[in-house]
Structure 1
């Protein structure tokens, strides 16, 4: 019995160690699969190649580094995390499934800035969107920008 208990403890320790040393996901959806349930939300994070919307999010403020940004579409939270400015080249991709039609995006920052915009997803065309947070003293302070288009967004 002691041998069995020791073997179980060794296996548990091994599994815990292997689970803790695995690769770090490169995107927020790495390792996730889209829900298969018919009750799955219409708007949700999916694998990059299945996304209707490639949503890029960035903190562009050296003054507010890091900043928490929460992004929801039609009330479904897609993003809720800290974003570091990292020389203003830290754009994080969130691949999203969004059905065709009119939608509402809402962005809230941890500093209290909030925007809400509407956009329309076409029937069979991928869209590309960017949310960036800024805090420019000479441009009126804290703000959030929203951009959506039908072609990929080039970041400098």
Structure 2
């Protein structure tokens, strides 16, 4: 998988601002694809232009410079790989085909952070989301944050 750095903010806190609030530059995330056999027919990774949901995943912790994050939607695993902090400028894009309606996202890390979020995909239009891994400096507080919106996420 190719890795590409994206312009992004360097904020580390227990309550980080949403990515859109960090600045005005647009990130150029890496697009990640699983083999065609990965995922169910209803929920799967697709080419970016066919995606209903653009999911960005990042490690934002200088304390844990490499962490494996797993993300599933409705039980279908879509992300399962290590993420390097790379000065907090590294978001990887997972373009997802997803039916309209209510869904549940589950994100976990090998360090014990876990998050469950319910969200609704509309009948029309694309949605944009980010899952970021955090660990507060000098503390053992590891957590995942979630952003979900109707317009592209902007980083600086």
* TM-score bin (small chain): 0.7 to 0.9
Q: Distance in 2 between matches of 1:52 and 1:139?
A: 37
List runs of 5+ in structure 1 lacking aligned partners.
Answer: 1-22
Question: Counterparts of 1:18-57 in structure 2 under 5 Å?
Answer: 27-29=31-33, 40-57=40-57
Structure with the larger helix share: 1
Q: Distance in 2 between matches of 1:87 and 1:67?
A: 14
Deviation of residue 70 (structure 1)? 0.1
1:60-116 deviation digits (Å, cap 9, x = unpaired):
001111000000000000100000000001000000001000000000011011010
TM-score normalised over the length of structure 1: 0.76
Secondary structure at 1:112 match in 2: coil
User: How many residues align structurally?
Assistant: 129
Structure label with greater radius of gyration: 1
What's the Cα RMSD here?
2.4
Name the structure 2 match of 1:89.
Answer: 89
Deviation of residue 139 (structure 1)? 7.9
TM-score normalised over the length of structure 2: 0.76
Q: Distance in 2 between matches of 1:50 and 1:144?
A: 27
Secondary structure at 1:87 match in 2: helix
Q: Higher relative CO (CA 8 A, sep ≥ 6), structure 1 or 2?
A: 2
Instruction: Give yes or no for contact 1:34–1:46 (8 Å, CA) kept in 2.
Output: no
Instruction: Give yes or no for contact 1:71–1:80 (8 Å, CA) kept in 2.
Output: yes
Instruction: Give yes or no for contact 2:31–2:95 (8 Å, CA) kept in 1.
Output: no
Comparing 40-49 and 53-62, the one that deviates more: 40-49
Question: Counterparts of 1:118-129 in structure 2 under 5 Å?
Answer: 118-129=118-129
Name the structure 1 match of 2:67.
Answer: 67
List runs of 5+ in structure 2 lacking aligned partners.
Answer: 4-29
Deviation of residue 141 (structure 1)? 1.6
Secondary structure at 1:83 match in 2: strand
Secondary structure at 2:111 match in 1: coil
